[in-house]
Amino acid sequence: MMKKSISASKASLVLFLCQMISALDVPLDLSQPPTITQQSPKDYIVDPRENIVIQCEAKGKPPPSFSWTRNGTHFDIDKDAQVTMKPNSGTLVINIMNGGKAEAYEGVYQCTARNERGAAISNNIIIRPSRSPLWTKEKLEPNQVREGDSLVLHCRPPVGLPPPIIFWMDNAFQRLPQSERVSQGLNGDLYFSNVQPEDTREDYICYARFNHTQTIQQKQPISVKVFSMDSLNDTIAANLSDTDIYGAKPVTERQPILLTPTGSTSTKVELRGNVLFLECIAAGLPTPVIRWIKEGGELPANRTFFENFKKTLKIIDVSEADSGNYKCIARNILGSAHHVISVTVKAAPYWITAPRNLVLSPGEDGTLICRANGNPKPNISWLANGVPIAIAPEDPSRKVDGDTIIFSHVQERSSAVYQCNASNEYGYLLANAFVNVLAEPPRILTPANKLYQVIADSPALLDCAYFGSPKPEIEWFKGVKGSILRGDEYVFHDNGTLEIPVAQKDSTGTYTCVARNELGKIQNEVRLEVKDPTMIIKQPEYKVIQRYGQVSFECIIKHDFTLLPTVIWLKDNDELPDDERFLVGKDNLTIMNVTDKDDGTYTCIVNTTLDSVSASAVLTVVARPNPPFDLELTGQLERSIELSWIPGDENNSPITNFVIEYEDGLHEPGVWHYQTEVPGTQTTVQLKLSPYVNYSFRVIAVNEIGRSQPSEPSEQYLTKSANPDENPSNVQGIGSEPDNLVITWESLKGFQSNGPGLQYKVSWRQKDVDDEWTSVIVANVSKYIVSGTPTFVPYEIKVQALNDLGYAPEPSEVIGHSGEDLPMVAPGNVQVHVINSTLAKVHWDPVPLKTVRGHLQGYKVYYWKVQSLSRRSRRHVEKKILTFRGNKTFGMLPGLEPYSSYKLNVRVVNGKGEGPASPDKVFKTPEGVPSSPSFLKITNPTLDSLTLEWGSPTHPNGVLTSYILKFQPINNTHELGPLVEIRIPANESSLILKNLNYSTRYKFYFNAQTSVGSGSQITEEAVTIMDEAMASRQVDIATQGWFIGLMCAVALLILILLIVCFIRRNKGGKYPVKEKEDAHADPEIQPMKEDDGTFGEYSDAEDHKPLKKGSRTPSDRTVKKEDSDDSLVDYGEGVNGQFNEDGSFIGQYSGKKEKEPAEGNESSEAPSPVNAMNSFV
């Protein structure tokens, strides 16, 4: 939230409007009648031990002289050595401290201030010394009261001036506690609505404090002894007479009766503006409750307060409208009593219009008005210069008309001071107002060039305090040559002030005030500056923080650059705590290690000399709740109890629920168990109990922050013993041996036993056999073993709890089995179906259930590899096991090795173990694709050949038929050339690859094949070497001048051809070469695949570089290289290849290449001038 305080300009507005109410002040250098400026109060109570100072100050020109009357007669201060008057003042000082007595100066004093233009008088000042008399000696009898009766201890303080303040204390100066039952009345008496035994004491002391003299008077202690009925019966003979009113009746409840005020009605008179106190105190048992109403109306809102436990009704600032009947009602469960107080509000005189000073020029007219009201209506009387106007010197310009004096054509001799007196039986008002007749030209009292600064959009008040007689007219101008200011945007006050209700930035400037009357004219300039308002552009925001966290409030401001702001932080409208955890930054307030006491409202206040703004935010510190307390057990029954508690502080985070835990001190002391939980609005719960448990309870409060610490444990509650309510759970019968039955169960917990001597009755009989139950009673254990049973036979079993008081209800039966034995037979008719080289399916017939001799758990298939069919060497046999749950008759055998011989058998499994194995079944897996060759090495590089060596696959997975070698050149930009494929017999382990390009990198792809297909490949790269002579010749040619010239001529020729082609194309002519290309398209050019833009279908998985489409593999270890644009034939090194009838290639590793483009089909030769030259030959 954000609020803006009153700016300086608004405060000025209030000040100016107040000035407008008063009369025009006369400059002190001009003649004026006296004006009383300060005087003592009408009812002046003085301390008799100190000097008496009676104030009377006045102003006037010439300075007034002072005189005093006492009790209506002249008080000659020169004749009393104890009395002096202050210099240039009318204030009297009566010296009491040097021998004077205050009582001698009691009386009514009035001061007169007089000069040549009139006389002003003060109020009648009544001087009375304060009094603090002692209590009169009295003998106080002890108060002996029966329990439950009412009692009033009277204080009766001495009459003091002013009345003392009363309070009750004991001998240790400790205030006596008060409540609805015991309270102090307005008269100082102590009222007991009913007494209790704890009221017995001997030091009820009433004290009276007299503030004027700073003294406290003490009454003698009062003794009160309260008799209870039991003690009263024992002591009645010794302490009470036969006629004593107390008797020996028991304490009885009584309906209310009023102790004060007495009777059914009373009256009360209060003066307007005072505080009205009404009181009702009642006796009764139980203690009555007081309620107040106003008959025929409502109690005044915002002015009504209840005090003294609602026994006192307080109404502040009463008015005539508060008159009426007020009823107090005292009520308890037996009835009620009431009293009606008739209130009448009277009024001492109060002003409606007080007379104001008049400054008139000769010949002017004017009026003095004096209007007052009161109840009863006050009488108005006039005085002139302190003398009743009826006997004052006559003035022809003056006419009295009731509460008004009318002046016509005044002259200088008409100057005087007039007094208006309004009085009734409750008081009086006296006001001085002068008439000052002057002839004066205008004068401006506001300093010249005064600077006013205001905030934009707030009022601007420019002062032009003036004086003149006749009263001058005021005009305002803006600027040096501005026109007169008029219109709704300005307000012109009678005291000369110019108000701009909503000042804007363009209101800044110089303003001129002109005052003129018939005697002259004068002007004055003031300056106005309008500033930008101070704003908080980022206010602090509401924060919720956990205890011990850190929080920060922001307060970013924007202000006029000419104003210097100051930022103050408050907590709950008070200064920040003096704590180093509070860090005040330029734009923020940070609180470290937040604690509960930091909770509250934080306000950022920004002050400048002209305005003030503030913004507030609430900090809520949350934490886990405090633990509940005052746990109480009520309503104790055999199987239930009610638990109640008082919640701890929720620490600003509402409690969501309460968790109730219990401890069994009998069976598990120190261990707390969950009992139940209830919503956070609930503080009682009905708890179910078990017999024979020594319960203690505790409560944990939970909110969003977490769980509180547990409460203190409740008192213990031991429930009575009873038969067990339940039997053991999880009863099972499982044999551990073929000839036994092991019966197990989960024992009852301690509190489930319901009594001492917990035991179990274990019963069993064979199922489906007409046998009687066999039973045994065992101690508090959880297992019993029955021996000599048949193998794997079903049994009916039950376990019943019992204790010293009896049995639990009849338990339910469960089915168990005696012990298992190993299965007797193996599965038959085992069949294997080989699905592929790595997967087979096995089938078998189930064994008869009676031969299982236990719970059938499934079948296990044992299988192992005997040997690889491609390698006759045997190796270590590693058996594998697959388990198939339940009564399944088939299963899959994955992960087999291709081209291998396997054996398997099948066994049935029960809870005891495995049965005998079926006869071994042999099956073979077919061939598969081989693994990659174990290695590929490339050695002995020459100008045009490389030697390849390899190892056979680690897992041939069949009979190898051949090896496949593919290779292709790689140029300097890592693009691949045409792919060449060679098929190599399976019995080879090396190969010399000839007719390669020199100084060229090749990439090789190598894999093995079986009759099923090709296996995975391995890749390698190698480079042929460069001829040194050729390299030297390349360097020499490149440096020859003729070669350089030839290259330049070729480049120039190409440029000319391009220009000619461009010109002919633009003219629409046909380029003959293009025509031929269109007419004779090369049929061997292979289009790119539309789907992925590649040339081939085969790609190397490692290098992701596509191979040529349509590669063919010749036989007899010959290689058919595919053509490229720069083939060996083109260089003159190739020979025409020939084919045999079977299509095999004649000639080793040579032949004309077919022109079949491949991706990256650029030349793989090393770039050199020779190569470039060869391309042109």
- Per-residue pLDDT reduced to its tens digit, 1141-1165: 333 333 333 333 333 333 333 333 3
- Per-residue pLDDT reduced to its tens digit, 219-273: 999 999 999 866 655 554 445 444 444 444 567 889 999 999 999 999 999 999 9
511 conformational bin, left if phi > 0, alpha if psi -120 to 50, beta if neither: beta
Helix or strand run (H / E) with residue 1021: strand 1018-1023
Token match 């945007």: residue?
489
Listed in sequence order, the residues at least 6 apart from 1067 whose beta carbon sits closer than 8 Å to its beta carbon are: none
Band of pLDDT at residue 32, cut at 50, 70 and 90:
very high
- In the chain, the N- to C-terminal Cα span, in Å, equals 95
The residue type of 147 is: E
What is the per-residue pLDDT for 24?
58
What is the per-residue pLDDT for 377?
95
Listed in sequence order, the residues at least 6 apart from 65 whose beta carbon sits closer than 8 Å to its beta carbon are: 113, 114, 115
What is the per-residue pLDDT for 1064?
77
DSSP H helical ranges for 854-983: none
- Per-residue pLDDT reduced to its tens digit, 892-946: 999 999 999 999 999 999 989 999 999 999 999 999 999 999 999 999 899 899 9
Listed in sequence order, the residues at least 6 apart from 631 whose beta carbon sits closer than 8 Å to its beta carbon are: 643, 644, 645, 697, 698, 699, 711, 712, 713, 714
Over pLDDT 90: what percentage of the chain? 69
What is the per-residue pLDDT for 660?
96
What is the per-residue pLDDT for 1038?
54
What is the per-residue pLDDT for 975?
84
Contact by Cβ (8 Å): 135, 219: yes
891 alpha carbon, distance to own chain's centre: 63
Q: Residue 373: is it exposed, middle or buried by C-beta count within 10 angstroms (0-12/13-18/19+)?
A: middle
∠ CA(490), CA(496), CA(497), 5° rounding? Answer: 50
Long-range contacts of 684-688 (CB under 8 A, 24+ apart): 684/642, 684/643, 684/644, 684/645, 685/642, 685/643, 685/644, 685/658, 685/660, 686/635, 686/640, 686/641, 686/642, 687/640, 687/641, 687/642, 687/643, 687/660, 687/662, 688/639, 688/640
**Beta strands 946-953 and 990-993, pairing class:** antiparallel
Helix or strand run (H / E) with residue 938: strand 933-939
**Beta strands 473-478 and 551-554, pairing class:** unpaired
Q: Which two tokens stand for residue 629?
A: 């307390």
CA distance 107 to 188: 31
The residue type of 651 is: N
Tell me how crowded residue 190 is: count the other CB atoms within 10 A of its CB: 22
What is the per-residue pLDDT for 1138?
37
Q: Which two tokens stand for residue 161?
A: 């001036």
**Beta strands 612-622 and 600-607, pairing class:** antiparallel
Phi, then psi, of 105 in degrees rounded to 5: -110, 15
- Per-residue pLDDT reduced to its tens digit, 451-478: 999 999 999 999 999 999 999 999 999 9
Helix or strand run (H / E) with residue 529: strand 520-531
Helix or strand run (H / E) with residue 1022: strand 1018-1023
Contact by Cβ (8 Å): 887, 857: no
Please give the C-alpha separations between residue 627 and each of 128, 651, 680, 704, 1132, in angstroms, as whole numbers. Answer: 63, 11, 13, 15, 104
Q: What is the mean pLDDT of residues 1048-1065?
A: 87
Q: What is the mean pLDDT of residues 313-334?
A: 95
What is the per-residue pLDDT for 401?
93
Ranges 494-508, 750-764, 1154-1168: which has the least confidence: 1154-1168
Whether the per-residue pLDDT at 876 is higher than 90: the answer is: no
Helix or strand run (H / E) with residue 1172: helix 1169-1174
Listed in sequence order, the residues at least 6 apart from 1156 whose beta carbon sits closer than 8 Å to its beta carbon are: 978, 1084, 1086, 1108, 1109, 1110, 1122, 1123
Please report how many Cα atoms fall inside a 13 Å half-sphere around the Cα of residue 254, on the Cβ side: 17
User: What is the average pLDDT value for the chain, to the nearest integer?
Assistant: 85
Listed in sequence order, the residues at least 6 apart from 846 whose beta carbon sits closer than 8 Å to its beta carbon are: 827, 887, 889
The model scores a pTM over 0.85: no
Band of pLDDT at residue 769, cut at 50, 70 and 90:
confident
60 alpha carbon, distance to own chain's centre: 67
**Beta strands 43-46 and 125-129, pairing class:** parallel
Band of pLDDT at residue 655, cut at 50, 70 and 90:
very high
What is the per-residue pLDDT for 133?
87
